[in-house]
């Protein structure tokens, strides 16, 4: 067993009951109690897919940590509570974790709606809330117990703008973005950077997460007559937009934010995402050892499945949590202080991650310029498409 999250326990006990076997719960207990990390995230509801991706990343990291002998001889484990990304449930979970002395720190939640509603409880309860996907600029302003490794959009978007404008030579851009706090913040940073690099932003269109039909939006884009489309999207909506853009005959270069980096993007987008450019934090042929270890380990554990951006965030987050526990032990305040002390934690996203104590975030994400070629993500060779 890699961890003792509740699903495993329930499944285990259900199986035990059904088989009528006298399977004792003692089988789950190890010689010493594991060090427990609370996770608040969506396992059901509209964002459930991201919760399941987190689990894959966490489980892989925990396997490796256990393989390396655990932390000071103790096992690291997590307790995943389903919040449905609903603020009402994330506050209850927050209070649950804060009241549970076994929990040493918390990871999540997924959306800023749910995370930031719970922040006051974590802050007052003195439990670190490590929101590793929370890019909302105000998330870490919730207090000195809020830390994040989410790539700051102030960092990422200028890189994307540089790729689109400087490297691909696009001069007149149409920006399509998810109309959420993330999409909106990203758009603003992107537009600012693109203008600095000398491009014109002809049109920006915000769409809601549930949107599936983009044909009319694409007519607006076409009428603005851009030479490139910028997608600030997740992989599922990004694939939809790319498909519909090609279907209505838009042939412009498409350049997307790193959040589309997922094998699903290619599966869902098919031929339409061929030649889509994207900036990412890592890629399959990346020679960095931590990336190779991550990808090889992931494929081995999950039957050859390619990891995506959210898997990588979760994997990094669990490794980061382990690094904190190594320094801070099981004392909650000491773990908070560990965030200020930790240096150069090996990370898929950052290479070496060190927190900026002022902003409580990590700067300097890695950057790779990829393009989809023959249904695969490949490093861009500099040839125009």
Partner 1 sequence: MSSWLDYTINGLIVGNVYALVAVGLALIFGVSRLINFAQGSIYLVGAYIGWVAVVQLHTPLPLTIIVVALAAALVGLIIERFGLRPLQNSVRIAPLLATIGISFVLDQLVMLTFSPNPRALPSQLPDVRFQIGGGTIGPLDLLIAGVGLTSALLLFAFLRYSKLGWAVRATAQDRDAAMQMGVDVNRVNQAVFGIAAALGGVSGLLVGMYYNQIDTAMSLQATLKGVVAEVVGGAGNVPGAVIGSLLLGLVESYGVAVFGTSYRNLFAFLLLVVVLVLRPNGLFASARQAPPEPLTGTFIAPSRPVRIPRWALLVVLGVFAILPLLPVSLYVLQTLINAWLLGMLALSLTLVAGTIGQVSLGHAALLAIGAYTSALLSLNFSVPVGLAIIGGGLTSAALGTALISPSFRLRGHYVSIATLAIGEIVSLVILNWEGVTRGPIGVSGIPPLSLFGYELISPTSIYWFSFAVMVVLALLQARLLGSHLGRSFRAIRDDDVAARAYGLSLNRYKSLAFIFGGFAAGISGGIAAHLYSYINHETFNTQQSILALTVVILGGLGNVVGAVVGSVALVGLPEVFRIAAEYRILIYGIVLLLLVRFRPQGLLGTI
To partner 1, the closest distance from the beta carbon of 41 in angstroms equals 12
CB of 166 to partner 1, least distance (A): 28
The CB-of-323 to partner 1 minimum distance in angstroms stands at 27
CB of 262: closest distance to partner 1 in angstroms? 10
Q: What angle do CA 230, 274, 183 make, to 5 degrees?
A: 25
CB 141 to partner 1: min, Å = 7
Q: Residue 133: which residues within 8 A CB-CB, separation 6 or more? A: 50, 108, 110, 150, 310, 313
* Residue with smaller CB distance to partner 1, 69 or 270: 270
Q: Which two tokens stand for residue 97?
A: 């974790």
Name which of 72 and 247 has its Cβ closer to partner 1: 247
* Nearer residue to partner 1 within complex by CB, 116 or 151: 116
**With contact defined as beta carbons under 8 Å apart, do 141 and 163 qualify?**
no
Contacts for 362 with CB less than 8 Å, ≥ 6 apart: 148, 149, 347, 350, 353, 354, 355, 356
Tokens 């490796």 belong to residue: 64
We find the least distance from the C-beta atom of residue 248 to partner 1, in angstroms, to be 4
Residue among 78 and 380 whose Cβ is closer to partner 1: 78
| Nearer of residues 210 and 358 to partner 1, judged by Cβ | 210
Q: Considering the complex, state which of residue 98 and residue 159 has its C-beta at the smaller distance from partner 1.
A: 98
Peptide bond into 109 cis (omega under 30): yes
Q: With respect to partner 1, which residue has the nearer C-beta, 177 or 286?
A: 177
Query: Nearest-CA neighbor of 134 among 106, 111, 155, 161?
Result: 111
| CB closer to partner 1 out of 128 and 345 | 128
CB-nearer residue toward partner 1: 6 or 166: 6
Please state the closest distance from residue 99 (CB atom) to partner 1, in A: 5
Residue closest to 255 by CA, chosen among 349, 180, 181, 156: 156
Q: Tell me the closest approach of the beta carbon of residue 352 to partner 1, in angstroms.
A: 31
Contact indicator for 129, 120 with CB cutoff of 8 Å: no
Quickly list DSSP for 253-299: EEEE-GGG-SHHHHHHHGGGGTT-EEEES--TT---HHHHHHHHHHH
CB of 225 to partner 1, least distance (A): 12
| DSSP strand pairing (368-373 vs 376-379) | antiparallel
CB 298 within 8 A of CB 305: yes
Task: Name the helix (H) or strand (E) containing 352.
Answer: strand 351-353
Quick one: which of 326, 332, 321, 324 has its CA closest to 99?
A: 332
């Amino acid at each position: 067993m890699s961890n003792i999250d509740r699903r495993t326990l329930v499944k285990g006990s259900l199986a035990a009951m059904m088989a009528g076997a006298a399977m004792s719960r003692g089988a789950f207990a190890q010689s010493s109690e594991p060090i427990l990390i609370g996770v608040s995230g969506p396992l059901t509801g509209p964002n459930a897919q991201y919760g399941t991706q987190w689990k894959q990343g966490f489980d892989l990291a925990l396997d490796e940590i256990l393989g390396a002998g655990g932390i000071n001889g103790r096992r690291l484990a997590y307790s995943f509570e389903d919040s449905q990304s609903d603020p009402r449930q994330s506050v209850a979970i927050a209070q649950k974790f804060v009241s549970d002395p076994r929990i040493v720190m918390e990871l999540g939640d997924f959306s800023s709606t749910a995370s930031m509603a719970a922040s006051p409880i974590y802050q007052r309860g003195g439990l670190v809330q490590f929101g590793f996907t929370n890019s909302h600029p105000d998330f870490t302003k919730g207090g000195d117990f809020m830390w994040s490794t989410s790539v700051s959009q102030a960092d990422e978007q200028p890189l994307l703008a540089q790729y689109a404008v400087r490297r691909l030579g696009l001069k007149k851009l149409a920006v399509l973005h998810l109309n959420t706090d993330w999409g909106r913040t990203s758009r603003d940073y992107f537009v600012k950077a693109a203008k600095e690099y000398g491009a014109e932003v002809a049109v920006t269109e915000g769409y809601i997460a549930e949107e599936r039909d983009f044909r009319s939006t694409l007519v607006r884009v076409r009428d603005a007559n851009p030479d490139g489309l910028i997608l600030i999207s997740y992989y599922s909506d990004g694939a939809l937009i790319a498909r519909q853009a090609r279907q209505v005959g838009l042939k412009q270069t498409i350049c997307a934010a790193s959040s589309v980096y997922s094998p699903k993007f290619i599966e869902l987008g098919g031929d339409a995402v061929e030649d889509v450019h994207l900036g990412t934090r890592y890629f399959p042929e990346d020679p960095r050892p931590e990336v190779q270890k991550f990808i090889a380990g992931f494929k081995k554990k999950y039957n050859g499945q390619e990891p995506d951006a959210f898997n990588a965030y979760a994997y990094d987050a669990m490794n980061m949590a382990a690094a904190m526990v190594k320094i801070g032990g099981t004392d909650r305040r000491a773990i908070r202080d560990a965030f200020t002390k930790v240096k150069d934690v090996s990370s898929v996203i950052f290479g070496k991650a060190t927190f900026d104590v002022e902003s409580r975030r990590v700067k300097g994400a890695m950057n790779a310029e990829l393009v989809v070629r023959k249904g695969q993500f490949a490093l861009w060779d500099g040839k125009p498409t």
